[in-house]
């Protein structure tokens, strides 16, 4: 977890520059919100950030460049905001209620930093947000200091505070989608090591579904998916009770 | 199916008026595309329209008003373009590749109608499209004449011609999503009569999945969903071989 404080003056300069270039650089009315889950320490966590000048946390969102595919924008934004790159992002929802946009929140944020906010500036338009989710191993990602970000935090999805905009609602939808997608996305998410035990995999499922599962039922369910290959046990001098190892089948 | 030809002069007037008011009325850069499936005559069809002045067909899309939720916009657009209202629309995808936008297509469309097209007009911006799907009984919907629409058509999803923009791709994604959603959306879609036979339901599934299913397997799968109630057979003087009737269980 990083925690960076920019000097107030530097930040005001950055924000002014951003407001100046944004209308030429980005598509209007559209934002992107990446929901990055991790499953470290037996918990399902979600990555939130505190933007410079803001008192609360929110998703590490951003905007779409005028000549950029939205999928590419999602990857770039996540990289720019958190340093995370090269992960599998799945588009799952577009949030477009009028009420999700709160002009007052943005005004207060800027005014608190001593920034005079011109009327009809980039940040005060209504945004429809295209949302993506990812599931990563928190130990394998590195979060980097970014100019607009004061702090990163992995928060337990069960204990989220009130986040910016409608981000609590977006994260709730992402959890449901992650659960219903997990069987089909297991291989794509690249969450397991090259080989793993049934117990390793069950642990992942228990974290994502946030409940304990019965070993025999779980095993039947997973084997029915037809994506696993069981490796032959090699005699290694240890007890025969060593668990079977599995890997994902190549074909499919 | 309706087929309405506006006089050329009237159409030019309508289009000019549209281009004039659109920037104040609608959110920029965002469009909505409703994919409406029907399952009449044993086929899975999709509703496409021919816009005035266009030679090809496309989805009955439109734009989001500045003070309108995107879900509400989808319902309104479908109503304005086709007359269909009061149906369950499910958001399933947002299409945002740069390449989906083809300036030439729009220019040709307008120029063919004798319309001088100002630079940077509403229709020539890049649109990111939020896509919704619905499944309806074609016999229960009425298509109405609309000013911008020259023709409606229910087309077999297996035999689609090249449609406007990336609409073939969007429809393909909608078919996949409809198939994977069907078990969970059966009740919401309100496709069946108050009571129905297992055979009626199997027919619906076979159309959506575009393949024959084995009766016993189908029955087991559907009963496992736990959403059906079997009614007691009433003696009606006919053969005892009359099939059981089902209805959707109230609780859930």
What superfamily in CATH does domain A8-173 come from?
Nucleoside Triphosphate Pyrophosphohydrolase (3.90.79.10)
- Chain A and chain B share a number of CB contacts under 8 A equal to 60
**What pLDDT, in 10s, does the model give residues A75-108?**
999 998 888 888 889 999 999 999 987 777 667 7
Task: Residue A32: name the closest of A77, A96, A92 by CA.
Answer: A77
The secondary structure element, H or E, covering residue A132 is strand A128-136
Q: How far does A232 lie from chain B, in Å, by closest CA?
A: 34
- A67, closest residue in chain B (CA to CA): B98
Select from B30, B97, B99 the Cβ nearest to the Cβ of A128. Answer: B30
| Buried/exposed B69-87: b ≥16 CB within 10 Å, e otherwise | bbbebbbbbbbbbbbbeeb
Contact A134, A37 (CB under 8 A): yes
The alpha carbon of residue B94 is apart from the nearest alpha carbon of chain A, in Å, by: 7
| Fold observed for domain B8-181 | Nucleoside Triphosphate Pyrophosphohydrolase (3.90.79)
C-alpha span between B38 and B157 (Å, rounded): 10
Kindly indicate the confidence band of residue A111, based on its pLDDT and cuts at 50, 70 and 90: confident
Is B57:B49 a contact under the CB 8 Å cutoff? yes
Please provide residue A217's backbone torsions phi and psi, each rounded to the nearest 5 degrees: -65, -45
| Max Cα-Cα span within chain A | 75
Q: Is the pLDDT of residue A147 over 60?
A: yes
Nearest residue to A84 via CA among A44, A22, A139:
A139
Among B63, B68, B96, the strongest candidate for a mutation testing the A interface, having the largest count of A CBs within 10 A, is: B96
Contact status of A97 with chain B (Cβ, < 8 Å):
yes
> Which residues in chain A touch residue B97, judged by CB atoms under 8 angstroms apart?
69-71
Q: Identify the pLDDT of residue B234.
A: 67
Q: Tell me phi and psi for residue A7, to 5 degrees.
A: -65, 150
Any chain B CB within 8 A of the CB of A103?
no
* Helices within chain B (DSSP H only): 8-25, 70-82, 103-112, 167-189, 198-209, 215-225
| Range(s) of chain A covered by CATH 3.90.79.10 | 8-173
Q: Measured between CB atoms, which of A28, A91, A98 is closest to B67? A: A98
Q: What is the complex's ipTM, to 2 decimals?
A: 0.86
Query: Tokens 């309706």 — which residue?
Result: B2
Positions of CATH 1.10.10.10 in chain B: 192-248
- Taking CB atoms within 8 Å and a gap of at least 24, the contacts of A185-193 are A185/A88, A185/A90, A185/A135, A186/A225, A186/A227, A186/A248, A187/A227, A187/A248, A187/A252, A188/A88, A189/A88, A189/A134, A189/A135, A190/A88, A191/A39, A191/A135, A191/A136, A191/A137, A192/A248
State the smallest CA–CA distance between residue A65 and chain B in angstroms. 10
Whether B30 has its CB under 8 Å from any CB of chain A: the answer is yes
Q: Span A164-188, mean pLDDT?
A: 92
Q: Which CATH number does B192-248 carry?
A: 1.10.10.10
* CA dist., res. B38 & res. B47, Å (int): 8
B98 at A interface, C-beta within 8 A: yes
Higher pLDDT, A171 or B143: A171
H or E stretch including A25? helix A8-25
A70 close to B (CB below 8 A): yes
Please indicate whether, in this complex, the C-beta atoms of B96 and A69 are within 8 angstroms of each other.
Answer: yes
Q: Looking at residue B16, what is its pLDDT?
A: 82
Nearest residue in chain A measured CA to CA from B127: A27
B47–chain A nearest CA distance, Å: 23
Judge whether residue A138 has pLDDT over 90: no
* pTM metric for this prediction: 0.88
Cα separation, B94 vs A129, in Å, equals 10
Q: How many Å apart are CA B174 and CA B190, to the nearest integer?
A: 18
CA distance A134 to A174: 9
Question: Which residues in chain B have their CB less than 8 angstroms from residue A28's CB?
Answer: 28-29
Task: With beta carbons under 8 A apart, name residues in chain B contacting A66.
Answer: 126
CB contact under 8 A, A27 and B27: no
Cross-chain CB nearest to A27 (options B29, B69, B93)? B29
Q: What pLDDT is recorded for position A98? A: 94
Mean pLDDT calculated for residue range A221-238 = 82
Chain B residues touching residue A185 (CB < 8 angstroms): none
CA distance linking residue A44 with residue A156, whole number of Å: 6
Please give chain B's pLDDT, 252 residues, in tens: 333 455 777 777 888 888 889 999 999 999 999 999 998 777 899 999 998 767 789 999 999 999 999 999 999 999 988 888 888 899 999 999 999 877 776 677 677 767 777 777 888 889 999 999 998 878 778 888 777 788 999 999 999 999 999 999 999 999 999 998 898 888 887 778 889 999 999 999 999 999 999 999 999 999 988 889 999 876 666 666 788 999 998 754
The closest CB to that of B98, out of A67, A126, A130, belongs to: A67
CB contact under 8 A, A64 and B126: no
Closest Cα of chain A to B7: distance in Å?
Answer: 35
CATH 3.90.79.10 boundaries in chain B: 8-181
More confident residue, B136 or A236: B136
A contact test, residue of B94, B130, B132 with most A CBs within 10 A: B94
CB contact under 8 A, B126 and A27: yes
Best mutation target among A62, A69, A94 (most B Cβ atoms within 10 Å) is: A94
């Amino acid at each position: 977890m990083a925690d960076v404080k920019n000097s107030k003056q530097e930040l005001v300069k950055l924000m002014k520059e951003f407001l100046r270039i944004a209308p030429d650089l980005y598509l209007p009315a559209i934002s992107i919100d990446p929901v990055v889950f991790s499953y470290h320490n037996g918990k399902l966590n979600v990555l939130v950030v505190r933007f410079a000048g803001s008192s609360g946390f929110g998703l590490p969102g951003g905007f779409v460049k005028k000549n950029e595919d939205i999928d590419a924008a999602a990857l770039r934004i996540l990289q720019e905001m958190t340093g995370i790159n090269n992960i599998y992002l799945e588009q799952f929802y577009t949030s477009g209620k009028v009420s999700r946009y709160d002009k007052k929140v943005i005004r207060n944020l800027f005014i608190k930093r001593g920034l005079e906010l011109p009327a009809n500036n980039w940040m005060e338009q209504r945004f429809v947000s295209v949302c993506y989710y990812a599931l990563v191993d928190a130990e394998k990602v590195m979060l980097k200091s970014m100019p607009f970000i004061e702090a990163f935090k992995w928060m337990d999805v069960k204990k989220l505070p009130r986040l910016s905009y409608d981000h609590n609602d977006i994260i709730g939808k992402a959890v449901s989608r992650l659960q219903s997608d997990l069987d089909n996305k297991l291989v794509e998410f690249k969450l397991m090591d090259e080989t793993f035990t049934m117990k390793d995999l069950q642990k992942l499922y228990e974290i994502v579904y946030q409940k304990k599962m019965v070993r025999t039922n779980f095993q039947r369910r997973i084997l029915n998916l037809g994506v696993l290959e069981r490796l032959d046990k090699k005699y290694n001098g240890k007890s025969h009770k060593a668990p079977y190892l599995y890997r994902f089948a190549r074909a499919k």
